[in-house]
Amino acid sequence: GFLIPYVIMLVVEGMPLLYLELAVGQRMRKGSIGAWKIISPYLCGVGVASVVVSFFLSMYYNVINAWAFWYLFHSFQDPLPWATCPLNSNRTGYEEECEKTSSTQYFWYRQTLNISPSLETSGNVQWEQALCLTLAWLVVYLCILRGTASTGKLEQLSNPKTWISAATQIFFSLGLGFGSLIAFASYNDPSNNCERHAIIVSLINSTTSIFASIVTFSIYGFKATFNYESCINKVILLLMNTFDLEEGSLTADNLSEMKDYLMAAHPQEYAQLLPQLKNCSLEAELDTAVQGTGLAFIVYSEAIKNMEVSQLYSVLYFAMLLMLGIGSMLGNIAAILTPLTDSKAITSRFSKEVISGFVCFINCIIGLIFTMEAGNYWFDIFNDYAATLSLLLIVLVETIAVCYIYGLRRFEKDLHTMIGRKLNWYWKTMWAFASPLLIISLFIFYLTDYILTGTLQYQAWDSTQGQLVTRDYPSYALAVIGLLVASSTMCIPLGALLTFIRKRLKRERVSTVA
């Protein structure tokens, strides 16, 4: 159900918009703000919006690297700390919360996040996570100092959320709309074949994403089956001990019939036992799939703990996760730093090292919010709302700007000069018609889904049940969500308005002098 929208988004949005941003950066030789300002002074807000979105992303994204450091440091223990549940304070059994869930989920929610029961309970900053976050930002800053050259380079189909998720995955994985592609492409040789790079990068990126998803959901399927079978075995053991049944008389195949028989034959005893009997369902286990960052930490750590030489595979996996995360962070920071270093007013007063250090320091300080006990809930807010709608608007304006303001024919001539080849029908059709129309459709899907959903909700960890429960966002969280969306999207019209006022005032001054 997700693969079809994903492929469509790749063909209609991913490859065309990746090529567009690479070509704009390579042609204009500026960061996001400067590049769109060259195309039209009224588009300066597009670059500012990209910088704001990249700043929001940088604020929370490096927390993932902090968690990766945390897991990496714990990977040297034998056995792995998430392999089994810890003993309780009396050392007479396992921790109650861990027994109700799993050892991997307990390590994630309790020992890593020490998560609060709701967003309203903020809690304190977790100093271990704060130190890991500081380390993550220090690594990013040291990599920045080395420069760009060293960083390397069918039910579901009717559900609007599926298409929005597919678009978000494409935008995030390729870095569309953040300004980082324009920033990196501005360093390219003017004759670099960015068309070929756009195709190769898109295909490799999507192939690895699909491969990773196959591995991930295979692991999750195994985990769901294991939990289901464990649940069945516990129910069988409980019934056999309570009703003194013969060994082998009760199996997974006849469990349902035996439940009905025991309820009819021993109604009082069965009624007393009923609260302890879990309703085991494989579908329910699969429906409670871990989402977001939990996929990388809970699901994979579940697989790693069952491997031979689990410490080795754990170190390799989380080291790989760190490499990917640091690489993504460098792209995000480049999208912020390039427009700043393009400004002569800033570079004349401060060196690049000072500017980079200031940006990293501010992000690190703000990022401490995500290391609080309620930090994961704020992380989800930023992850869900800081970029999704904003990216759709940014890339929509980008395609319209290139095709209808700068001019598609003019841009085609620029590309012919750069790569020595005429633009084929696919790119022109996607840029001029298909991509903008699909983005507008996604806007309508997004707004329709928001209206139909009503009150926005989030998943909170209930330690008494050992599972996630759905809660409504408080009013102040809804206000923050509104500010996150408005602060980036409003940059585009405000930038155009300020440019219009500035030009109008300049024209009036000239006419007054004359």
Over residues 14-53, the pLDDT tens digits come to: 999 999 999 999 998 888 888 999 999 999 999 999 999 9
| Per-domain residue ranges of the chain | 2-209+325-513
Q: What is the mean pLDDT of the chain?
A: 87
- State yes or no: pLDDT of 289 exceeds 60: no
pLDDT of residue 150: 39
pLDDT of residue 514: 59
Over residues 312-359, the pLDDT tens digits come to: 999 999 999 999 899 889 888 988 998 888 888 888 888 889 999 999
pLDDT of residue 157: 56
pLDDT of residue 158: 58
pLDDT of residue 1: 59
pLDDT of residue 154: 46
- State yes or no: pLDDT of 295 exceeds 80: no
Helix (H, G, I), strand (E, B) or coil at 31: coil
Please state whether the predicted TM-score (pTM) of the whole model is above 0.95.
Answer: no
- State yes or no: pLDDT of 156 exceeds 60: no
Annotated binding site for Na(+): 173, 205, 324, 328
- State yes or no: pLDDT of 293 exceeds 80: no
461 phi-psi bin (left φ>0, alpha ψ -120 to 50, beta other): beta
pLDDT of residue 487: 93
pLDDT of residue 149: 40
Compute the distance between CA of residue 125 and CA of residue 116 in angstroms, rounded to an integer. 12
Annotated binding site: 173, 205, 324, 328
Over residues 220-234, the pLDDT tens digits come to: 787 788 778 888 888
Compute the distance between CA of residue 275 and CA of residue 513 in angstroms, rounded to an integer. 88
Over residues 404-463, the pLDDT tens digits come to: 999 999 999 999 999 888 889 999 999 999 999 998 988 888 777 777 777 788 999 998
Which alpha helices (H) appear in 192-309, and where do they start and end? 194-243, 255-265, 267-273, 282-287, 294, 300-304
Per the listing, tokens 């130190």 go with 131
Written as one letter, the residue type at 122 is: S
Burial call 81-115: b when 16+ CB within 10 Å, e when fewer: bbbebbeeeeeeeebebbebbbbbbbbbbbbbbbb
pLDDT of residue 169: 75
Higher pLDDT, 212 or 395: 395
